Amino acid sequence: IAFDGAATPVTILEHTNDHAAVLAAINALPSPKMTDTFSTNLYGAVYSGVRASQQMRFSFGDANATVVSTMVVFTDGHDTAGRITRETAVNEAVRFAGTVRIISIGVADTSDTEFLTAIATSGLYSFPSSSSLVSSFADIALKVANAANSYYSLAMCVPLRSSSVSLSIALNASL
């Protein structure tokens, strides 16, 4: 999702597992679909992104699958469009924090770090300029990759003839 000041953020690419399509969409930014470049609908973009991520959960796998998405919010400023309230965007981010992880990235000293902190369920990064972002991008990418690989499913069938079962589970934290 890319956003300008328009009421509806622009979906650049629907959720996908196609890495080539994602790279092509990133390389095509900024989108020619942007129509209101005089304001910024930051709150609307966060709200819409969380909603789209929630809807995406039901299009991958079955209803019992654990699906968690990571949304990365890049911004160099504040919401100036006023189309959705700050409180609505923050509440949506917090409401779905268990299934939509948000990494906030403020690029410029003018970023709304208070808002970015409120929605950042998986980390906040602040950079005084876009050039300082490049050196830390590998760390951010690793955080996204680790989040994607952090869920495990365990199932156990206990025989009916057994009245009790002992089970010990260990997880190596360095995974």
Q: What is the mean pLDDT of the chain?
A: 79
Task: State the pLDDT at residue 47.
Answer: 94
- Rounded average pLDDT over 168-175: 62
> Within 13 Å and on the Cβ side, how many CA atoms surround 165?
9
Task: State the pLDDT at residue 117.
Answer: 92
Residues pairing with 69 in the sheet: 100
Question: Is residue 66 within 8 Å of 98, Cβ to Cβ?
Answer: no
CA distance 118 to 88: 12
Sheet containing 69-75: which strands, arranged edge to edge?
69-75, 100-107, 124-127
- Rounded average pLDDT over 117-138: 81
Task: State the pLDDT at residue 175.
Answer: 41
Residue 85 confidence class, pLDDT cut points 50, 70, 90: very high
Task: State the pLDDT at residue 27.
Answer: 82
Q: Report pLDDT digits (tens) over 154-168.
A: 666 666 666 677 777
Q: Report pLDDT digits (tens) over 12-33.
A: 787 777 889 888 888 887 666 6
Structure tokens at 26: 């990133």
Task: State the pLDDT at residue 55.
Answer: 80
> Quick check: 125 pLDDT over 90?
no
CA distance 97 to 167: 30
Q: How far is residue 13 from each of residues 20, 55, 131, 162, 167, measured CA to CA in Å? A: 12, 14, 26, 52, 44
**What is the percent of the chain where pLDDT is above 90?**
16
Residue 118 confidence class, pLDDT cut points 50, 70, 90: very high
